[in-house]
């Protein structure tokens, strides 16, 4: 599934809200998981694509030896600007780059890592071909993608709740793009089209998404992702109302105090 134009644009106030609310809500446990999967590999140079605000970058910097150089890239300059404001106790090379046209030479990296970015690539086999191109022989491409939206309770609840506000044209960003690339056979075929000849290992990983209030997940999804643009495209004044509707829906399902919901992702590992 290819993402519509605009689904991969994270700009304006989105990067800050994304980092403040969405990263601790859903990204941190999977960032730790990805970093742990390559920590024991012999590495000299690691590339992160679609790095966002640096959730995985920070974990990689914590677990990899200081001798390993880390290059973190993202398509959106605003995300990299936000990432660069956060403390990382080692040098990181931040670069704006399109994953489908990486500005690196062949066989530069021992590992290419991507957290929840693959779903946004308009031409996934092309991006996979680029990841393979910059990998050294024997290098590893490691990425994760969200499982179907029904396995991710807060995202599903927010999406369903907004149908009441826009019954004739409900915003479907979360279902369409972040949670729209979970078919394992499709992933395998796209990797093969991208030139990978080794079979990938695909593992389902469940975790818990926790927040102090029901408002935090609703702000995270409605205001910290391109769902915000979908809402405002339908009604420029509706963002606060949409966030309130989502907050009430989460509270009704998960409680009016601290909330706890299931999240689930697929982790894909493939070697060159």
- Asked if residue 7 is part of any domain, the answer here is no
Burial of 16 (0-12, 13-18, 19+ CB in 10 A): middle
CA–chain centroid gap for 245, Å, is 25
- Asked if residue 9 is part of any domain, the answer here is no
Say what the pLDDT of residue 231 is. Answer: 96
Residue 82 pLDDT > 60 = yes
Query: Where is average pLDDT lowest: 17-21, 85-89, 169-173, 260-264?
Result: 85-89
- Asked if residue 134 is part of any domain, the answer here is yes
Tell me the C-alpha to C-alpha distance, in Å, between residue 193 and each of 95, 129, 187, 189: 27, 8, 10, 6
Q: Which of 67, 48, 39, 52 is nearest to 8 (CA)?
A: 52
Q: What's the CA gap between 91 and 172, in Å, rounded?
A: 39
- Asked if residue 3 is part of any domain, the answer here is no
Residue 10 pLDDT > 80 = no
Say what the pLDDT of residue 4 is. Answer: 61
Name the pLDDT band for 91 (thresholds 50, 70, 90): very high
122 is in which domain, residue-wise?
14-271
What value, to the nearest 5°, has the Cα angle with vertex 8 and ends 212 and 251? Answer: 25
Share of the chain above pLDDT 70, in %: 96
- Asked if residue 244 is part of any domain, the answer here is yes
Q: What is the pLDDT of residues 17-74, one digit of tens each?
A: 889 999 999 999 999 999 999 999 999 999 999 999 999 999 999 999 999 999 999 9
Name the pLDDT band for 1 (thresholds 50, 70, 90): very low
Say what the pLDDT of residue 12 is. Answer: 78
Q: What is the pLDDT of residues 189-223, one digit of tens each?
A: 999 999 999 999 999 999 999 999 999 999 999 99
**Overall number of domains in the chain:** 1
Say what the pLDDT of residue 7 is. Answer: 54
Name the pLDDT band for 9 (thresholds 50, 70, 90): low
Say what the pLDDT of residue 5 is. Answer: 54
Say what the pLDDT of residue 89 is. Answer: 81
Name the pLDDT band for 250 (thresholds 50, 70, 90): very high
Yes or no: say if 208 and 263 are a contact pair by the CB < 8 Å rule: yes
Residue 2 pLDDT > 50 = no
- Asked if residue 46 is part of any domain, the answer here is yes
147-152 contacts, C-beta under 8 A, 24 or more apart: 147/179, 147/182, 147/204, 147/264, 147/265, 147/266, 148/179, 148/182, 149/174, 149/175, 149/179, 151/206, 151/262, 151/263, 151/264, 152/26, 152/179, 152/209, 152/261, 152/262, 152/263, 152/264
CA–chain centroid gap for 200, Å, is 19
Yes or no: say if 223 and 206 are a contact pair by the CB < 8 Å rule: no
- Asked if residue 189 is part of any domain, the answer here is yes
Say what the pLDDT of residue 206 is. Answer: 98
CATH number, domain with residue 256: 3.40.50.150
Name the pLDDT band for 8 (thresholds 50, 70, 90): low
Q: What is the pLDDT of residues 92-102, one digit of tens each?
A: 999 999 999 99
Say what the pLDDT of residue 32 is. Answer: 97
Say what the pLDDT of residue 85 is. Answer: 87
Share of the chain above pLDDT 90, in %: 89
- Asked if residue 75 is part of any domain, the answer here is yes
């Amino acid at each position: 599934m290819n993402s519509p134009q605009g689904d991969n644009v994270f700009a304006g106030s989105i990067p800050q809200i994304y980092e403040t609310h969405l990263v601790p809500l859903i990204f941190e446990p999977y960032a730790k998981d990805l970093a742990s999967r390559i920590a024991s590999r012999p590495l000299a140079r690691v590339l992160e694509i679609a790095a966002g605000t640096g959730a995985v970058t920070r974990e990689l910097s914590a677990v990899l030896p200081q001798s390993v150089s880390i290059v973190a890239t993202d398509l959106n300059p605003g995300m990299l600007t936000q990432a660069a404001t956060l403390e990382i106790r080692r040098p990181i090379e931040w670069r704006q780059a399109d994953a489908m046209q990486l500005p690196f030479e062949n066989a530069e990296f021992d590992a290419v890592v991507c957290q929840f970015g693959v779903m946004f690539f308009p031409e996934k086999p092309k991006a996979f071909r680029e990841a393979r191109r910059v990998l050294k022989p024997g290098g590893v491409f490691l990425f994760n993608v969200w499982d179907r939206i029904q396995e991710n309770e807060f995202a599903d609840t927010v999406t369903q709740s907004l149908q009441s506000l826009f019954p004739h044209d409900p915003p479907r960003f979360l279902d369409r793009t972040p949670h729209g690339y979970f078919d394992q056979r499709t992933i395998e075929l796209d990797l093969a089209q991208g030139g990978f000849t080794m079979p990938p290992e695909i593992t389902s990983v469940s975790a818990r998404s926790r927040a102090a209030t029901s408002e935090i997940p609703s702000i995270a999804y409605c205001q910290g992702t391109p769902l915000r643009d979908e809402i405002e495209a339908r009604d420029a004044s509706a963002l606060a109302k949409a966030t309130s509707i989502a907050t009430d829906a989460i509270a009704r399902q998960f409680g009016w105090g601290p909330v706890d919901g299931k999240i689930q992702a697929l982790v894909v590992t493939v070697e060159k």
